Amino acid sequence: MEKLILTTALTGAITVPSQTPHLQYTIDGIADDAIACAEAGSTSVHIHARIPENGHPSSDPEIVKKIASRIKANCDAIVCITTGGGMGMTPQDRLRGAAICKPELASFNLGSMNFSMHPVAKWFKPEDWKFDWEKDYVEGTKDFIFRNTFGDMEIFAETMEKNNVKPEFEAYDLSHLHNLKFLEKSGIIKPPYWLQFVLGVLGGLVATPESLIAMVQTATNLFGNENFRWSVIGVGYPMEFNMAAMAIMMGGHVRVGLEDNLFVKRKVLAKNVDLVEKVKRIAAEFEREIATPDEAREMLGLKGLDAVDY
């Protein structure tokens, strides 16, 4: 089996500071967290920006550029910049960071969906919220539609093509793979694909072995084994590690990180690096080596850090 591409998703745009003291949201905090994960063996880091003063998700390309630049100055990890952004951002807002920084990878979300975490709000008493924006933000996800229309996806595809940014396709359900097939048949996107199966979002496919096998099987049927590589994200604990263990056994790849899961064990809050170390232990038991960034660049056909614009 080929080496394991281990991606770490550091902050996302849904995890809020009150959920865990380990969520980094300053420029140096996020970048240094990424560097620590790279030093621990993470092949690729997936970054979202936050407003440094209060941790609110941000699409400010200048913040994104400062985070990506600090990471590049200190390690050779692949940087994947989000175009998923967060609640309240337009598709154009969401694209700015990737369009300006021209990273090797940027996320490309394959369909619209409900993307909610409102049940989390009931765990907090009013005085528990660290920042005044959090409660409304979390409760507001009850009515959040994560928009990725076919029109949006054409714009994402054109912008990434123009800036020589390879899409990391985020598929949250089986229909998203069929959407990618439609984009392929329309001549908008062409293989080979780097697919992230994102399982367990409230609004997407649940994170179970059956779901993962269905996603792999559907992708194989639609694109052919030779035309894609896949990685999996299990949202929440223990799903993150259940899916990781399956992917390690099946020859897939893995994403961990506080964007998707806060716990390294039941009720034990984790730093991102703790999640990386746990996946490394699981991979070691299956004798699956972790790919270096350059090995992953070779596997994914990435342009190299000399060609980015940050």
Q: Which residues bind ligand KMH (CB under 6 A)?
A: 12-14, 82-84, 86, 107, 109, 115, 146, 170
Shortest reach from residue 80's CB to ligand KMH, in Å = 8
Query: Going by C-beta distance under 8 Å and a sequence separation of 6 or more, which residues neighbour residue 210?
Result: none
Minimum Å gap between C-beta 225 and ligand KMH is 25
Q: Whose Cβ is closer to Zn ion: residue 42's or residue 288's?
A: 42
Residue 196 engages Zn ion in binding (rule: CB under 5 A): no
91 binds, among Zn ion, ligand KMH, none (CB under 5 to 8 A by kind): none
Q: Which residues contact 298 (CB under 8 A, 6 or more apart)?
A: none
By CB under 5 A, tell whether 116 contacts Zn ion.
no
Q: Which is nearer to ligand KMH, 84 or 91 (CB)?
A: 84
Residue 310 Cα to chain centre, angstroms: 20
Residues numbered 51 to 90 that lie near Zn ion (CB under 5 A) are: 82, 84
By CB under 5 A, is residue 204 in contact with Zn ion?
A: no
Whether 114 and 202 have beta carbons less than 8 Å apart is answered as: yes
**Smallest separation, CB 141 to ligand KMH (Å):** 9
Q: Which does 170 bind (CB under 5 to 8 A by kind): ligand KMH, Zn ion, none?
A: ligand KMH
Any contact of residue 257 with Zn ion (CB under 5 A)?
A: no
- DSSP letter, residue 118: G
- Using the minimum distance from each CB to ligand KMH, give the nearer residue, 12 or 234: 12
Nearer Cβ to Zn ion (82/211): 82
Return the H-helix or E-strand segment holding 244. helix 239-250
- The residue among 255 and 271 lying less far from Zn ion, judged by its C-beta, is 255
Angle formed by the axes of helices 61-74 and 91-101, to 10°? 40
Closer CB to ligand KMH, 228 or 283, in the complex? 228
Q: How far from chain centre, in Å, is Cα 1?
A: 23
Q: What HEC string does 8-70 produce?
A: EECCCCCCCHHHCCCCCCCHHHHHHHHHHHHHHCCCEEEECEECCCCCCEECCHHHHHHHHHH
| Contact yes or no for 290/38 (Cβ under 8 A) | no
Residues that bind Zn ion (CB under 5 A): 12, 82, 84
